[in-house]
Amino acid sequence: MKFRTMSQVSSFSNATLYGMGQAGASPAAGLPGGLELWRALGKVVLFALPLALALMLTLGAVKADLERAMEAGEVHQQQLIDDNIQLLAQRAGLYAPERVSRVAADKLSLYAAAPGQIERIN
C-alpha cells in the first residue's frame, strides 16, 4: 500500500513499520529465476524422481536375472568341457592298438599274423 503526500512518497505502511509484512509479499519472491520456474522444476522432479526410481529397480532386477543366467551358462559350459574330456579319453581308449587286437580276437576270431605266416609272391 502506498501513501502519497505532498512532501514525500512512501511505499511502507504502518504494518510494515511495526514488523508485519504485506499480505501479497512472498518470501519466495527473491528466488533466482522466479517462482514459476521453481514450481515447474518441482513438478518435473515429482514426475521424474519416481520414474527414475522405478527404472533403477527394474534395471537392478534385470541385472540380477542376467547374472544368474550367466552363472548357469558358465556351469553348463564347464560340465560340457568335462564331458568332452571324458569322451576324448574314451575314444583314445577305443582306438588303442591293444584293445583293437583284443576285440578283433574275441569277436571276430582275428589274430595278428605270426612270423612265417605271411608269404609274398611276386
Q: In this predicted model, what pLDDT tens digit does every residue of 41-98 receive, in sequence order?
A: 999 999 999 999 999 999 999 999 999 999 999 999 999 999 999 999 999 999 998 9
Q: Are 88 and 94 in contact (CB under 8 A)?
A: no
Model confidence band, residue 31 (pLDDT cutoffs 50, 70, 90)? confident
Distance CA 103, CA 95 (A): 11
Task: Tell whether pTM > 0.75.
Answer: no
Q: Round to whole Å and give the CA distance between 82 and 86.
A: 6
| DSSP secondary structure code for residue 3 in this structure | E
- Do the Cβ atoms of 101 and 112 come closer than 8 Å? yes
